[in-house]
Amino acid sequence: MDLKETIKSHAKDLGIDKIGFTTADDFAALKPSLLAQKAAGHTTGFEHQNLDERLYPDKIFDQPQSIIAIALAYPSKIHDRPPRTGPKRGRFARASWGIDYHTVLDRKMDALMQFIKDTAATDTAIRFKPMVDTGELIDVAVAQRAGLGFIGKNGLLITPEFGSYVYLGEIITNIKFAPDEPMACQCGTCTRCIDFCPPKALLGDGRMNGQRCLSYQTQTKGYMDPEFRPMIRNVLYGCDICQQVCPFNKGKDFHIHPEMEPDPDTVMPELIPMLTLSNKGFKTRFGKLAGAWRGKKPLQRNAIIALVNLHDRSAVPHLLEVIENDPRPMIRATAAWAISELAAAPTAELTTFLKNAQAKETTEEARTEFQNAIDRIVQR
């Protein structure tokens, strides 16, 4: 058995669900599309900013020969729901269940690289550069070329075995491997992901307007545009819609890795307690999730929005306390908007409270949000 087949055979023992190999040739064919996306304002800013490093492996690795792509399947269903405690709950998207997938993938790739070092018979020093989605290369492009699956119209990698519910990682190396066969797109005429995307972020060819993607919207740190607020429903982080409606994901639910198992009470948390969560409490409660990487501010803003979308009028007193006590203008102003949406019987007392709070605001955005809230209440 040659080294490649030995690695493939051992990958399962290392807890790797899919593995493929491709050349270290460039991805220059993607450049026109990426430039067009940037020119159109469709990028999010989360992408690696050096375009050449995203497309040319030799820009980030000395004399690369191959790229190894791996995939780990994650669950799509929670088998044990959180207890019915009464208060409304939010939810994290599936890719943020369990321990942060960057940590899980890093461990798997470390084990894989060590196995290759221990197994390979070569006089040349073996070198690797592993990365997940925070690295330079485009994960789905590498995985597709390595034969793990195809890129769907939603821009995600879709595997025959696990659908799109997979985490991806890749390793550049100076070992030369025979490449696996890429997989062509199998979406055919299906447009379900495009049709069901609430903000119409998907462009139909595997690309998207990242600025309109709800997953991106939940991760921004500023004010969420009112257009998107009802669309996120009660989701605190991410979005699963284009995966949930995909025919290739029907019946896909894999509970292979214990570290990916969701704690129901963590990934479906009560919303009102999140409004006053301390930094320490946030880190203790959510710090291990991938959805915690942007900090507590976006999640608390999203919790306020979710309370509106769930029509939870019991939240109004708590939102008033947020306006009174929270030190962050954006959170206070979002709470004002929420109160204007939830208040069952607006009163002069409530209007006065909001006007007094508005007078204390020092940013134009916050004052505007408060004024819009006051106007909505007055006009009822």
- The DSSP H or E segment spanning 42 is none
Size (the chain), residues: 380
- The DSSP H or E segment spanning 23 is strand 18-23
Q: How far apart are CA 73 and CA 62, in angstroms?
A: 31
Place of tokens 């470390």: 110
Mean pLDDT of the chain: 97
Domain limits, the chain: 1-267
Q: In this predicted structure, what is the pLDDT of residue 199?
A: 98
Closest of 141, 154, 138 to residue 249, by C-alpha: 154
Closest of 93, 88, 97 to residue 275, by C-alpha: 88
* Token duo for residue 276: 């006053």
Q: In this predicted structure, what is the pLDDT of residue 121?
A: 79
Q: How many CB atoms lie within 10 A of CB 37?
A: 18
- Residue 125 CB partners (closer than 8 Å, separation 6+): none
Maximum CA extent, the chain: 82
DSSP codes joined into one string, 61-85: SSS--EEEEEEEE--SS-SSPPP--
Q: Which residues of the chain have pLDDT under 70?
A: 1
Provide φ and ψ at 71, rounded to 5°.
Answer: -140, 140
Reduced 3-state DSSP string for 151-194: ECCCCCEEECCCECCEEEEEEEECCCCCCCCCCCCCCCCCCHHH
Q: Could you give the residue ranges of the DSSP H alpha helices within 220-278?
A: 241-244, 264-267
Buried b (16+ CB within 10 A) or exposed e, 258-269: eebbbbbebbbb
Place of tokens 């607020």: 229
Upper half-sphere CA count for residue 97 (Cβ side, 13 Å):
27
Q: In this predicted structure, what is the pLDDT of residue 35?
A: 97
Q: How far apart are CA 163 and CA 148, in angstroms?
A: 11
Q: In this predicted structure, what is the pLDDT of residue 1?
A: 61
* Token duo for residue 114: 């060590």
Closest of 96, 147, 60 to residue 290, by C-alpha: 96
Q: Could you give the residue ranges of the DSSP H alpha helices within the chain?
A: 3-11, 31-39, 51-55, 101-119, 139-145, 192-196, 214-219, 241-244, 264-267, 279-286, 296-309, 316-325, 329-342, 348-360, 364-378
* Token duo for residue 84: 């019915």
Query: How far apart, in Å, are the Cα atoms of 4 and each of 58, 175, 235, 306?
Result: 22, 10, 42, 49
Q: How far apart are CA 188 and CA 183, in angstroms?
A: 14
Catalytic residues, by residue number, are: 133
Q: How far apart are CA 29 and CA 107, in angstroms?
A: 32
Q: How far apart are CA 325 and CA 303, in angstroms?
A: 17
